Structures are given as structure tokens and as C-alpha cells.
Structure 1
């Protein structure tokens, strides 16, 4: 088993983001539940890419395996003006995902061609007091089950001395557990199609700037006749390479670009930002590791909480 580091000293592989890792094939974690987008839950996972977001694993005989453990917790719901909603809301989501990515020596447009897939498992526990014309109704749910799987049938990766870029097309399939009457669901019960672009630039002195931009286009959930709006996210990290470590800050910016549509719904756009410390480790022949802790702020039409995620990857 070998994990090779692409040309610059501390570069991390990407599976789950970086060096021997899994690049764009991101999965895991739903993140939350509140309002915009159906049930307020982002369609695809947050906080997957930080250091090495533009770097894919090198071509190897058997590909790269990665895993990610994440925990998201929120006790605040925000309305469309960013004000707290007094409804005794709480949500905890623990997730574990298994990812596989395979980069090849086949070239297309000067890039290495690859593919990947991610399968997440989620434990969700939350409650909410819903205001109705007949009074307040307490609602809760604690499902534990498989989430929606992500497939990346095409990944293209370019690399140079200091700059690494990849693009991918991702399909999220409705494989997750879903019940229309349940408050929180591991699955979304609809398809999502996402172009993803990742880039990493590392200076000669070892300072890294990484970003991953994703656009999610959702289809209709036919169980509820609800279609979530188009979603945009930019996940990023800035840090310094110090030996096998990279340390700095990371986060994400999330915006819903178009309205939700459903029974008596035309609107409900959500947004949120997150920022916090991030660190990663890469050394040839050893598993690559990433750890971050993000605090959300500026939420509208959704929950606001924090996320902790640990990822590991190795190429074979």
C-alpha cells in the first residue's frame, strides 16, 4: 500500500479532500434541518473539502479508500431575516461515510481521468415545537440509517508545480431512508445533479489556498410534490505547510440561488456561513488525516450550529 504526495511538500490528498484521499466525491452529513430547501436540510453534505480541495489522489493499481466521521449540532433556528425562531428546536447528526476513488493514467484534455463513489450512514436525533392553529405540537425523530449515495462517474484532474485543479460531475441518488411523515430523514427522496470545481494553490514557501465550488440542482420529491431550489456552496481553507502538517482556517459559504416550490410554497431561500480551525497530515506511506471544527453564523431560513469532522484516506 502506498500513498504518494503530489509534488509540493505538504500537499494533502483529497479524499475527503486531499492527498491520498478522495477528492470531489464528497459525501456525508446532511447537516441540519430547519426551513428552506425541504425540511431545511442541505441536499448534499457540508464541510467535506478543506486543505487539498484541488488535489486528487495519484493513479494507483487499486485506488483510494477514505472514511469520514462528522458530528453536527444545532439548537437554533433562524427565520428569513436571520432572527431566532422560539420553537425549542434541537438537532444532532452523527455520520460516518465510506468513499472510494480511482484515478487512472487515461488522459482527457490533458487531465487524468477518474471516478468515485461515497456511501453515508447517519444517526439523527432532534425535536421541534411546531406552532399550529390548535396550539403547539411537539415533534421529534431519531432515525439511524443509510443516507443518499453520491456517484462521480467522471473526474478530471490537472496538476502543475504549484497549482492543482479538478472538475467532477456528481449524481446523488435517493438511496437513503425516507418517510414523508418523519421530521428528519437520512434520505432526501429525490435526485441531485452537481458540477464541482476544486482548486489548490501552494506557494513556494508552503502557504496554501484551497477552494471547492459546487452547484446542486435538485429534482422533485414526488412523495411531497416539493422541489428544493438550486444550491451553491464554496468550501475553502487557508493554511501553512509545516513538515507533514498543514494548519490554518477553513469554512464554507452556502447560498440557495432559487426558490423552493411545493404546495403553498414559493420562496424559502436559505443561507449560512461557517468558519473555524483546520489541520491536516500527510506523509508518504501513511494514512492522510484531516480534522476541522466549524461554527456557523449568519444563517437565514435554516438551523445554525457547529460541525466537527475527522477524515482519513489511503491509496493502494
Structure 2
């Protein structure tokens, strides 16, 4: 059911010629792959169809503050708006691997990014930069999807995703749709729906990043847990969703003296619609809290998918 994969860095931060390198985690302060993607139905993929499933995802992210390692605003003037648009394709088959249906897919995202930054020293502006662009982001290839359904109430699937550095990238630009490095991401998704229609869904993902050859920067390993709980009412499901993100290992770069590990929690209302034969729809609005070493903002997402 949930076929729209991450479009990558929804919460893009700010690295400007090293001036703010100690205030955020991962290169440019951005998660390598996006979160806020999986909510209801995460443990189920579409059944095999002749032509597969197309998904369209639109997400708007806005942040106006950067949090330091203690969760305080770092004192710089900052704002960023990111509108991400992506087309996903998923093909499930009748082929069985380890008792699961096999599938594959991919996502091509595009970002419209509008960012402004003023760096201050003792309250006095010492540097300012801005950027507005609409460019291609990194493509994500999913060569392996395995779908198990141990019972009619439980769905479990495993994804193996490779994100390639195909997105637009300039070393000294304030924000970039592309990361200029490879990322490998295994993920496990589960959904349980009781006979009364109560649903609990979760997605667990880890990102392993290679080094950016343009900057010699390697972002630490990233972990995220996305979740949703809600009640089914006919074809509708309504409830609460969110994500927890945490960087597990330190960044590694020349001259970097601290690990810059990031974390954030997001919560908000989530709604979905699923009825066989009609396009499936997911909507959510998440507010981020308790951010460390990264931007803190909110995200509104609308996702559509349809099988052919």
C-alpha cells in the first residue's frame, strides 16, 4: 500500500564555508534520506499487478531555527523552505524469495529550495548568504523488496535501498538537492491491524554513508523510526504519526573536533484513504521537537499511489 519512498533531505540545514560546522550534524546539516514517509500501512506493499504501482509524493518543510547540542537556538538568523516532489515506481511479483513476495522499485525526487542564513558573532552579523533553486535530487534505487504476510492482520516487509549521487550539487552553495555521496539503507516495516480496525505501524531504517569526495566529509550513520497509530473507519484511517531520528556515529572530516550527532522527534495528525480500485492517499502534518545539532521545523505531506 505504501509505495512512495523517501525523497531525501526534507530538513536541509546550512553549511557555509565551514562557518557553522560546529552547530549541526551530518554534512550541510541535512539527513541523508528523508523521513516522515511511512505511516499507516507501512508493513504492506501492493499486490502483484501487470504494470506495477506509481506513487507521487509532495512534502513541504519549513524551519526557522537551528538547535545546538543542548537544544538551544544557535543565535544565527536562518530560514529554509523545501518543497519536494517525487515520482516513485514499485513492482511486486509472484516470485518467492525466503517465503516472501519479491519486488523492486525506485524514486526520482526534485526539490525547490529557498534558504537564507546570517551568521552572527556576539550578536553582530559577519556573514550572509541565500539560495533559491529547483533541481533534481539524488535518485533512489530499490533492487530488493521482500513482503511477508504471516497472518491477515500482520504485514512485514524488508527493503534494501541505494541512493546514488545524481542530484544537483555545488560545493560552496548554501543548500544542495544532491549529497554528492552514496548511501545504502536497509529498512524493516511492520503493520498490525486488529479485527476491530486498530492499527499500529512502524518503519526502522539505517543509513550508511560514503565520503563526499568534494569536501572529504563523511556523515555518521543515521537511524530513524517512523510510526503511526490509528483507527480504521471504512476506507479511512485516522490517528497520530511521527518519527524519531538519531545519528549513531560521529561525522568524520578534516578539522572536525566534535562528533556533531543529531537527533529530533516529530509528532502530528495522520490520515489515509485506501479502497481497492481507487488511488490511495496519505496526509500528515508533523511538528519537530527536541532537536539537537540540526534544524527544527514542521512538515506537511501528501502522498498518492495507484496500481495498474
TM-score above 0.5: yes
Match of 2:261 among 262, 269, 273: 269
- Within 5 Å, give how 1:68-87 maps onto structure 2: 68-87=57-76
Match of 1:302 among 277, 294, 303: 294
Q: CA RMSD in A?
A: 1.3
Please state how far the C-alpha of 1:284 moved relative to its aligned partner.
1.3
- Within 5 Å, give how 1:156-171 maps onto structure 2: 156-159=146-149, 160-171=151-162
Which residue in 2 is equivalent to 1:254? 245
**Whole-Å Cα distance in 1 between the matches of residues 190 and 129 of structure 2?**
42
| 8 Å Cα contact 2:7/2:84 also seen in 1 | no
1:14 aligns with 2:14: no
Listed one character per residue, the Cα deviations across residues 174-223 of structure 1 (whole Å, up to 9, x for unaligned) are 01100000010000000000100000000110000000000000000010
Structure 1, gaps ≥5 residues long: 1-12, 17-24
- Within 5 Å, give how 1:227-246 maps onto structure 2: 227-246=218-237
SS of match in other structure, 2:252 = strand
Bigger mean CA offset, 78-87 vs 134-143: 134-143
**Whole-Å Cα distance in 2 between the matches of residues 140 and 262 of structure 1?**
24
**Whole-Å Cα distance in 2 between the matches of residues 252 and 148 of structure 1?**
22
Assess, with a 3 A threshold, how the Cα gap between structure 1 residues 200 and 98 changes in structure 2: closer, same or farther.
same
Structure 2, gaps ≥5 residues long: 15-23
| 8 Å Cα contact 1:176/1:186 also seen in 2 | yes
Please state how far the C-alpha of 1:28 moved relative to its aligned partner.
4.6
1:288 aligns with 2:280: yes
Which residue in 2 is equivalent to 1:202? 193
Listed one character per residue, the Cα deviations across residues 45-93 of structure 1 (whole Å, up to 9, x for unaligned) are 1111000011111011100000001100000110011111111100000
Q: How many residues in Structure 1 have an aligned counterpart in Structure 2?
A: 296
**Whole-Å Cα distance in 1 between the matches of residues 203 and 93 of structure 2?**
22
| 8 Å Cα contact 1:229/1:258 also seen in 2 | yes
TM score, norm. by length of structure 2: 0.94
1:125 aligns with 2:114: yes
Please state how far the C-alpha of 1:283 moved relative to its aligned partner.
1.0
Assess, with a 3 A threshold, how the Cα gap between structure 1 residues 283 and 135 changes in structure 2: closer, same or farther.
closer
